[in-house]
Amino acid sequence: MRRGGIFGKFPVAVIRLPEVLLARLLLACDLLTSAPNLSVNLPVYKVPSETRVDQLVDAVVVHHNRIDLTGRCVEALARDQGPLRTVTIIDSGSVTPIPDSQQRLWGDLLGRAKEGRRPIGLFIESFKENVGFADGNNRGLALRIRDGAGFYLILNNDAYLEPRTLELMVDTALESGAGMVAPAVYQAGDPERIDRFGLTLTRSGAGYDRKNESDGPLLCPSGCAALYRRDLVLELMGDPEGFFDRRFEAYAEDLDVGLRARARGYRVAFAARAKILHEGGATFGPSSPQSYFLRHRNTIWTIAKNFSTKLLYEVGFWLILGQLAGIANGVRRRRFSAVVRGKIEGARGWRDFRRRTSNRTKVSDLGLLDHRFWIRP
């Protein structure tokens, strides 16, 4: 594993954490076996007096192969600045590691203070294996959680912030008291076309992107761009699976986090003026067999983990119909095999997920779900 901490021309202090403290930190995210002897680089800078540390943001971006997309993502973060304090990039098994020259370029770009604002710290952690979107973000959060930021931004490497986006998201969180904030995400290829306004979950168990502010109840932000409060991150990191469930790899991990948070009383808010442009499907492709497999498997696991027995009885009929409708949609889109494999794998894990979460508070409020049976993708 190659490690680096870049902060432009700003001074950096390198601290090697004691092994006992490090073990406890990594255990919280179930990383003990995958990141031994980790050294962490901490940026040294003074936060302007008008900005409280608990109102600053640490961003985590998982990178896999597409250095062009990650570069554009970093450039957008550098332009936005606002309350952003650090950017942690997790290089998840890229065929070609991020060149040192590219790392220096990004570090210089983020490290330049603009209009009296603080420089932004850049950290890059590289792993030989592809750890997946969920576990990659867990590793990034584990590295930054002790630094004291009030908020954490989870951002796809193919998502690009428009100016003032972070400031508007943090303001929304502070004004509403919400633990999660969803921005307005538009398509990068057509910036006027809505990509998603957060996520909704139907009573048939299907998660969907909201296409306008009234398109079903907002359950949680999408994992492509989501802001989470520190206390929420700390609480969910204490679960055995970590913040994101690494078994999911990708897809529906954001729904799982959203349901776990809502079950514990955390609320969600929508920042309508916070705009993000999203390419979409940069890793697997939105219609690839792997994406269909993961979506259908992980949706079943999400329901198993987070629906109370009471809620399962209330929506059980619709859940069964939803599974049949998903198979029919797979046939129509020529992804029958991937859909069926996903559902079989999901069913195999059902009992284990119910058992592992039997003592956990689960979602019982039918009002959190969209009343519609099916939403056309």
The more confident residue out of 160 and 285 is: 160
Angle of helix 67-80 relative to helix 165-176, nearest 10 degrees? 60
Q: With contact defined as beta carbons under 8 Å apart, do 260 and 294 qualify?
A: no
| Helices and strands in the chain, H and E counts | 10, 14
Q: How far is CA 246 from the centre of its chain?
A: 12
Exposure pattern of 95-132 as b/e (b: 16+ CB <10 Å)?
A: eeebeeeebeebbbbbbeeeeeebbbbbbbbbbeebbb
* Domain match, 9 and 59 both: yes
What predicted TM-score, i.e. pTM, was given to this entire model? 0.85
Residue 3 has pLDDT above 60, yes or no: no
pLDDT at 90 over 60: yes
Mean pLDDT calculated for residue range 23-36: 40
Tell me, what amino acid is at 262? Answer: R
In CATH, what number is assigned to the domain containing residue 94?
Answer: 3.90.550.60
Q: Are residues 112 and 192 in the same domain?
A: yes
Cα separation of 208 and 186, whole Å? Answer: 15
**Average pLDDT, integer, range 109-135:** 86
* pLDDT value of residue 284: 59
CA distances from 232 to 179, 187, 237 (A): 6, 29, 8
Element (H, E) at 224: none
Q: Give whichever of 18-32, 43-57, 280-294, 334-348 has the largest mean pLDDT.
A: 334-348
Report the DSSP pairing between strands 151-156 and 199-201.
unpaired
- Arithmetic mean of pLDDT over the chain: 85
Tokens found for residue 53: 């540390």
Residue bearing the bigger pLDDT, 166 or 287: 166
Q: Does the residue 336 lie in any domain?
A: yes
Same domain, 221 and 301: no
The closest alpha carbon to 72, from 106, 100, 97, 101, belongs to: 106
* CA distances to 5, 14, 367 from 42, in Å: 7, 6, 44
245 and 299, same domain (yes or no): no
Range of the domain at 301: 289-368
What are the pLDDT digits (tens) for 323-361?
Answer: 999 999 899 999 999 999 999 999 999 999 999 999 999
What percent of the chain shows pLDDT beyond 70? 82
pLDDT at 36 (0 to 100): 32
Q: Is residue 374, in this structure, part of any structural domain at all? A: no
Does the residue 347 lie in any domain?
yes
Mean pLDDT of 288-313: 95
Q: Is residue 341 part of a domain?
A: yes
CB atoms within 10 A of CB 77: 25
pLDDT at 116: 60
Average pLDDT of the residues in 129-144: 95
Q: How far is the C-alpha of 199 from the C-alpha of 182, rounded, in Å?
A: 9
For residue 142, CA distances in Å to 23, 30, 159, 216, 252 come to 11, 10, 22, 33, 21
| pLDDT at res. 215 | 86
So what's the pLDDT on residue 304? Answer: 96
Give the total residue count for the chain.
Answer: 377
pLDDT at 281 over 80: no
Do 153 and 241 lie in a common domain?
yes
Give the distance between the most distant pair of CA atoms in the chain: 61
Of 4-13, 48-57, 191-200, 205-214, give the range with the top mean pLDDT: 191-200
Res 19 pLDDT > 90: no
Task: List helix spans (H) across 145-245.
Answer: 165-176, 230-237
Number of domains in the chain: 2
Lowest mean pLDDT among 40-49, 112-121, 322-331: 40-49
At residue 184 the predicted structure's pLDDT band, cuts being 50, 70 and 90, is very high
For residue 213, is it within any domain?
yes
CB atoms within 10 A of CB 155: 24
Residue 297 belongs to a domain: yes
Among 236, 253, 278, give the residue marking a domain's end: 278
pLDDT at 189: 92
Q: Which of 250, 278, 306 is the last residue in one of the domains? A: 278
Same domain, 328 and 263: no
Q: What is the pLDDT of residue 113?
A: 61
Residue 59 and residue 88 in contact, taking contact as beta carbons nearer than 8 Å: yes
Positive/negative CA dihedral, 182, 183, 189, 191: positive
